[in-house]
Chain A
Amino acid sequence: MTDLLSGAGSTGAILNGALGIALLLVSSALLMSLARLVIGPDKPDRILALDTLYVNSIALLVLFSMHLGNDLFFEAALLIALLGFVGTVALARYLTRGEIIE
């Protein structure tokens, strides 16, 4: 783990511990959102769980890019943010109007 961060020029021990804790917390957040996606009683609950899932996946991607010391993941994070927002809007419009493109 430390050899991947060797280009940082820092010691990296505190950062590696924080990254481990954060990866654990964000992964548990993804699992909780997935549980709400499965058990959600209403349709808006499931849309909200999908929205939370993509925001959590952006967080996980950012943490992973810091773990690798590689900043090529931000285009992927921006794409996930864009398409997740479009998906949320499309699903909510579908529940409200019954059709997406009028």
Chain B
Amino acid sequence: MSASPWSLPFNLLVELLVAALIVIGALFTALGSFGLLRLRDFYSRLHGPTKATTLGVGSLLIASSVYFSRLGDGLSLHEVLVAVFLFITAPVGAHLMAKAALHLRVRGQTGLPPDDLLNGPDDGTLDPSSTESSPQDAKSILKDASKEKG
């Protein structure tokens, strides 16, 4: 077998591609769970599983799609379905968990979230004095406009 990679057999190229995707995906998956275990507070820990682990599982599913497309007859697209579903649902789940943590007033250690979010009303929204300023301004603008008309 010659030294040029372009003259390698096709099966070996597919195997190298699948092996590289598998190792990269497993590394990202393990790194996400390591971040979940070792980071300091909840808002930092939310980053590891929702980004690194999802990306790693996506890489594993692409590797599996390539492998079973080579092994079977045609394209194997079940894995793409699982990957699309995971990529859609991971941000939704992370958003709901962050809202639950804000609702329970979980304290971070890095200055996040700001005190406006933690000391605000029950549903974890912003400070009412800062959010209601713009409607008041709009009302006063409307009043001024009506005065000018009258």
A interface list, Cβ under 8 A from B: 7-12, 14-15, 17-19, 21-23, 25-26, 28-30, 32-33, 35-36, 42-45, 47-49, 51-52, 55-56, 58-59, 62-63, 65-66, 69, 71, 74-75, 77-78, 81-82, 85, 88-89, 92-93, 95-96
Contact = CB atoms under 8 A, between A and B. Distances in A.
Contact of A18 (B22, B92, B96): B22
A29 B96 contact: no
Contacts of B63: 66
B72 A51 contact: no
Interface stretch (B100-108, B111-119, B130-138, B142-150): B100-108
A71 B12 contact: no
6 contacts: A25-B27, A28-B33, A32-B37, A33-B37, A49-B36, A63-B26
A32 B33 CA distance: 6
B19 A17 contact: yes
B71 interface: yes
- Chain B: interface size category: 35 or more
A21 B89 contact: no
B26 A26 contact: yes
Contacts of A85: 85, 89, 92-93
Contacts of B104: 42-44, 95
Nearest to B81: A78
Nearest to B98: A44
Interface of B: 11-12, 14-16, 18-20, 22-23, 25-27, 29-30, 32-34, 36-37, 42, 45-46, 48-50, 53-54, 56-57, 60-61, 63-64, 67-68, 70-72, 76, 78-79, 81-82, 85-86, 89-90, 92-93, 96-101, 103-104, 106
A43 B92 CA distance: 18
Given A11-B11, A29-B32, A71 B16 contact: no
A86 to B, nearest CB: 9
A42 B62 CA distance: 35
A45 B42 contact: yes
Given A22-B25, A62-B61, A71-B78, A48 B103 contact: no
A69 B76 CA distance: 13
Contact of A36 (B14, B37, B56): B37
Contacts of B19: 14-15, 17-18
